Amino acid sequence: MTIEELDQIALSVRQENAKYDYEVNVCMDLACASQGAGQLRDELVKAVEASGKKVLVRRTGCMGPCSSGPLVRVDPEETHYHHVTAGHAEAIVANLGGKPVPDLQCDLNDHFDSQVRVVLENAGHIDPEKIDDYISRDGYKALLTVLTEMTPNGVIHRITESGLRGRGGGGYPTGLKWSTVAKATGDVKYVVCNGDEGDPGAFMDRSVMEGDPHRVIEGMAIAAYAVGASKGYIYVRAEYPVAVARLTTALREARRRGLLGNGLCGTPFSFDVEIRLGAGAFVCGEETALIASIEGRRGTPKPRPPYPAVSGLWGKPTLINNVETYANIAPIVRNGGKWFANMGSERSKGTKVFALTGKITNTGLVEVPMGIKLREIIEVIGGGVPGGHTFKAVQTGGPSGGCIPAEMLDLGVSYDALMKVGSIMGSGGMIVMDDTSCMVNVARFFVEFCMTESCGKCIPCRAGTAQMFTLLTRICNGVGTMDDLALLEDLCATVKETSLCGLGQTAPNPVLSTLKYFRDEYIEHIVHKRCPAGVCNIQAPVEVLA
């Protein structure tokens, strides 16, 4: 495969698409598919055949605004239809070329206007199972450019220049990580893609793997060239069967096109990727635990150093990046590091994909430039809190993150700003809570999660989270005391300081951040035996009749 051949494929796809007058794109991501998008697509195909119009019906990955699903976008007009069912297929096809179907049309301008799409640039525009669709949108061009025109150091320089930081949540500078692996000695090196998306309440990585799998593979191949690896692994959660199937298809197609395998594009560079399935362990998102799991063992973390960059998979230098990090690589190579660095804030460059869920009108996937205010994400893009309720907090970073209160909504989203207020960027879960959510109960939920997911290797995490859970349960049940609260705070500090890996070190964050901003709710539970949100089941104290 050469760049000319790639251009030829892209051209033929465009010529093929030009034969159609209209394109009807049907979102087939999990949320839409669970509401009958599959049947809808079948009906659309039938309606098109019956009408004799030249229409391309395309299955696409997640378009973003899941709460409007099943979603359909008609091109070239870019008309959006929401809540479409199979019964609407005929009307949609009949109205092509005329006025849009009135009851179905929705205005998503507010939703899309503040977004900047880099990682999700193909979402809703390509069929994830067709490699040629990806190629027609400049897919694999970055890889071939890198292989034929750039040195490994040149690639690392470009990534460093872009200022990209790890999208798994830690925010470690990607260029620095790559150069460490590149400099590590060893003839065998590995690149690993962390697709273990364990944060409950986040699905960005699933959508990318399902909606645009080649983007991840291309990013990994570029990384492999830069660090000198010839073998890659994608570690995916077993709970994402569609992602596994799409990636399997994508890998097969890429091999068939000669974009993976031995001697790519006539260069000595060889690279191939294998999929490894997770088996339901949150801790496997931690890199040393993930490595143990790929090696077929229990996913327990190891002390670092040595870092995987020096001694990782089977003791070899290993580069581990998150799905979204790899998804950013091809656009950075294509458009240059400066282009990427021009987006975002001072120390957090580019864009970030968030899964916006909870008590918010427009749930779904959004991609925003770093530095955007939380208020804009929640009120403009998200459409605010529905049902006449008031916003209380937004939770970022999952079980390792914290809750950010209403008075801090003008905070710009960046790694450092979120860390400063006691939360973290995390992988991109953003869960909105309203006045019907009890913050003590939410803290207890996350601590229970960490307690069950603790691998048990180190005592602070194994025993500490269990004790934190007991204390929080007492408070939720209305039998907690102020001494319990003091003990809880003390315990949080110990678990944070002394745990072996990130799971334990960050497990207290949800408690600490709710204690910081919603301490009155804790006091209310303890002193007045009352849950302000009415969530906790506190038995009313027996009143002694005088």
Partner 1 sequence: MPVPFTPPPLPSDDKRWKIVNGTMRKNGFARYALIETLHTVQSSFGYLDDDSIRFVANSLRVPLSQAYGVVTFYHYFSLKPPGKHTLTICSGTACYIKGSDKLVAAAEKRLGIAPGQTTGDGKISLMTARCVGACSRAPVMLADGEVAGEMSGEHMLEQLERWAVE
CB 331 within 8 A of CB 312: no
Judged by CB under 8 A, the stretch of 118-126, 288-296, 321-329, 538-546 that binds partner 1 is 288-296
Shortest distance, position 34 Cβ to partner 1, whole Å: 4
Judged by CB under 8 A, the stretch of 52-60, 79-87, 145-153, 289-297 that binds partner 1 is 289-297
According to CB under 8 A, which one of 111, 189, 206, 257 is a site residue for partner 1?
A: 206
Hey, which residues between 402 and 441 contact partner 1 (CB under 8 A)? 429, 431, 433, 437
3-state SS, residue 340: helix
Question: Tokens at residue 1, please?
Answer: 């495969």
Told to check if 395 binds partner 1 by CB under 8 A, we report yes
According to CB under 8 A, which one of 259, 442, 451, 476 is a site residue for partner 1?
A: 442
Q: Work out the burial of residue 151: count CB atoms within 10 Å of its CB; fewer than 13 is exposed, 13-18 middle, 19 or more buried.
A: exposed
Told to check if 293 binds partner 1 by CB under 8 A, we report yes
Instruction: Determine phi and psi for 62, rounding to 5 degrees.
Output: -60, 125
Shortest distance, position 296 Cβ to partner 1, whole Å: 4
Q: Residues with Cβ < 8 Å from 363, sequence gap 6 or more?
A: 65, 66, 67, 356, 357, 382
According to CB under 8 A, which one of 37, 57, 208, 294 is a site residue for partner 1?
A: 294
Told to check if 184 binds partner 1 by CB under 8 A, we report no
Q: Work out the burial of residue 80: count CB atoms within 10 Å of its CB; fewer than 13 is exposed, 13-18 middle, 19 or more buried.
A: buried
Contact string 247-276 vs partner 1 (x = CB under 8 A): -----------------------------x
Task: Please tell me the number of Cα atoms within 13 Å of 354 on its side-chain side.
Answer: 32
According to CB under 8 A, which one of 22, 134, 225, 240 is a site residue for partner 1?
A: 240
Shortest distance, position 384 Cβ to partner 1, whole Å: 16
CA distances from 233 to 49, 277, 294, 296, 465 (A): 42, 10, 8, 13, 32
Q: Which is nearer to partner 1, 119 or 164 (CB)?
A: 119
Strand partners, 91: none
CB 329 within 8 A of CB 223: yes
Told to check if 484 binds partner 1 by CB under 8 A, we report no
Distance of CA 132 to the CA centre of its chain: 25
Hey, which residues between 100 and 129 contact partner 1 (CB under 8 A)? none
Cα dihedral across residues 200, 204, 207, 210: positive or negative: negative
According to CB under 8 A, which one of 8, 12, 34, 494 is a site residue for partner 1?
A: 34
CA separation for the pair 170, 34 (Å, rounded): 33
CB 160 within 8 A of CB 416: no
Total residues at interface with partner 1 (CB under 8 A) = 52
Told to check if 279 binds partner 1 by CB under 8 A, we report yes
Q: Which is nearer to partner 1, 104 or 294 (CB)?
A: 294
Judged by CB under 8 A, the stretch of 80-88, 100-108, 199-207, 470-478 that binds partner 1 is 199-207
Question: Tokens at residue 5, please?
Answer: 């051949």
According to CB under 8 A, which one of 36, 170, 200, 306 is a site residue for partner 1?
A: 200
Contact string 348-387 vs partner 1 (x = CB under 8 A): -------xxxxx---xxx----------------------
Q: Which is nearer to partner 1, 279 or 493 (CB)?
A: 279
Q: Residues with Cβ < 8 Å from 87, sequence gap 6 or more?
A: 43
CA separation for the pair 82, 73 (Å, rounded): 9
Q: What is the DSSP letter of 408?
A: G
Shortest distance, position 293 Cβ to partner 1, whole Å: 7
Maximum distance among all Cα pairs of the chain, rounded to whole angstroms: 94
CA angle (287 as vertex; 422, 61 as ends), nearest 5: 85
Told to check if 446 binds partner 1 by CB under 8 A, we report yes
Judged by CB under 8 A, the stretch of 44-52, 136-144, 222-230, 297-305 that binds partner 1 is 297-305
According to CB under 8 A, which one of 61, 198, 317, 382 is a site residue for partner 1?
A: 198
CA separation for the pair 527, 480 (Å, rounded): 9
**Position 244, amino acid:** V
Contact string 44-83 vs partner 1 (x = CB under 8 A): ----------------------xx-x--------------
Sheet containing strand 351-358, strands side by side: 364-369, 351-358, 429-434, 391-396, 402-405
Told to check if 16 binds partner 1 by CB under 8 A, we report no
Told to check if 312 binds partner 1 by CB under 8 A, we report no
Q: Which is nearer to partner 1, 67 or 351 (CB)?
A: 67
User: Which residues lie near partner 1 (CB under 8 A)?
Assistant: 30-31, 33-35, 66-67, 69, 197-203, 206, 238-240, 276-282, 293-299, 355-359, 363-365, 395, 398, 429, 431, 433, 437, 442, 445-446, 449, 455
